Amino acid sequence: MMFHVQGASKHTCGLLAVLSGRSSEYKHKQGADDGLRYPFPEIVSSGRLEVQTLNSPSIDEFHKILDSSQPNFVYLQGEQLPHDEVGSLLWGGIDVSTAEAVAGLFGSTLPTTVYLEIPNGEKLAEALQSKGIPYVIYWKNAFSRYAACHFRHALFSVVQSSSSHTWDAFQLAHASLRLYCVRNNLVLPGNSQRSNDKLVPYLLGDPPMINVTLPEIAPADDDESSLDGLPAIKIYDDDVNMKFLVCGVACTLDACLLGSLEDGLNALLSIEIRGSKLHNRVSALPPPLQAGTFSRGVVTMRCDLSTCSSAHISLLVSGSAQTCFDDLVHALPNCEENKPPLSEPRRSASIACGAAVFEVCMKVPSWASQVLRQLAPDVSYRSLVALGIASIQGLAVASFEKDDAERFLFFCTRPGEDLNLSNSYFGNHPSWLRPPIPSRKRI
Per-residue pLDDT tens digits for 157-166: 999 999 999 9
CA distances from 126 to 109, 203, 371 (A): 18, 10, 37
Q: For all residues of the chain together, what is the average pLDDT?
A: 81
More reliable by pLDDT, 113 or 222: 113
User: What residues are paired with 181 via a beta bridge?
Assistant: none
pLDDT at 404: 96
Per-residue pLDDT tens digits for 337-358: 555 444 455 577 789 999 999 9
- Is residue 143 within 8 A of residue 189, CB to CB? The reply is yes
CA distances from 73 to 15, 20, 98, 431 (A): 5, 17, 20, 45
pLDDT at 195: 53
Highest mean pLDDT among 63-72, 192-201, 406-415 belongs to: 63-72
Per-residue pLDDT tens digits for 215-252: 554 554 554 444 455 456 778 788 899 999 999 987 78
Q: Which amino acid is at 357?
A: V
pLDDT at 9: 42
User: pLDDT tier at 335 (50, 70, 90 boundaries)?
Assistant: low
Percentage of residues in the chain with pLDDT exceeding 90?
Answer: 54
Q: For residue 262, give the 3-state DSSP assignment.
A: helix
Which strands make up the sheet holding 113-117, listed edge to edge?
A: 49-55, 13-19, 73-77, 113-117, 135-139, 201-204
Per-residue pLDDT tens digits for 250-302: 778 889 999 999 999 999 999 999 888 888 887 777 666 665 555 555 677 88
CATH assignment of 13-204, among 1.25.40, 3.40.50, 1.10.3470, 3.30.70:
3.40.50
Question: What gap in Å lies between CA 49 and CA 15, rounded to an integer?
Answer: 7
Question: Helices (DSSP H) in 162-214: which residue ranges?
Answer: 166-177
Q: Give the mean pLDDT of 390-408.
A: 95
Q: Give the mean pLDDT of 168-175.
A: 98
pLDDT at 346: 56
Question: What gap in Å lies between CA 175 and CA 265, rounded to an integer?
Answer: 9
Per-residue pLDDT tens digits for 206-219: 998 866 555 554 55
Percentage of residues in the chain with pLDDT exceeding 70?
Answer: 72
All structural domains of the chain with their residue ranges: 13-204, 234-285+300-433
